[in-house]
Amino acid sequence: MMDEELGYVIAVTDAKVSPVGKIIPGDGAAYHKVNFSLLTFYPRIQEIVEGEVVEIADFGAFVRIGPIDALLHVSQLMDDFISYDEKQGVLIGKETRRKLTSGDQVRVRITAVSLGRSGSSGKIGVTARQPFLGKLQWIEQEVQKIKEAVEKETAKKEETAQK
């Protein structure tokens, strides 16, 4: 269920139903007062979320974030020319040779939110074209490169200090 104020309702928890209810003539249902808590997901612009790629298309990838799939357009995937391999269902960067397939875990930033009205599920747009966003494996590689560069710089400074 989707509500404009609450966002996507995922679960109802801690439901406490009053044992005393009302029966309205001509209606077979019993009506009781209920207190409950909700688990919801309300996507916010600029929020960083992680999700799983559930589908690849020639125009981008659909990323499951919580109860909804967000569109990661090819222009928002990486700073590279991207081609689509239809047989394998893969998006491939021309120079970097990075591949994105179904099942990959990605970290993205929400850039557009259009919550649905009257039964529509809404639409979410995301980007991965910023530092430390994209496929988690790519992020780990970038972090490792930075660590190695820092260690190299530190070793160089220590060597210079010893002279």
Domain ranges for the chain: 2-41, 48-138
CATH of 48-138, one of 3.30.70.2740, 1.10.540.10, 2.40.50.140, 3.40.50.450: 2.40.50.140
* Contact by Cβ (8 Å): 141, 149: no
Spatial separation of the C-alpha atoms in residues 88 and 102, rounded to whole Å: 10
Distance from C-alpha of 142 to C-alpha of 137, rounded to nearest angstrom: 9
Query: Does pLDDT of 143 surpass 70?
Result: yes
CA–CA separation, 44 vs 110, rounded Å? Answer: 7
The C-alpha atoms of residue 55 and residue 64 are separated, in whole angstroms, by 9
Each residue of 5-52: pLDDT tens digit?
888 888 999 999 999 999 988 888 889 999 999 999 888 999 999 999
Q: For residues 71 and 56, what is the distance between their CA atoms, to the nearest angstrom?
A: 10
pTM recorded for the entire structure: 0.76
Q: What is the pLDDT of residues 91-128, one digit of tens each?
A: 988 888 889 999 999 999 999 988 766 556 678 999 99
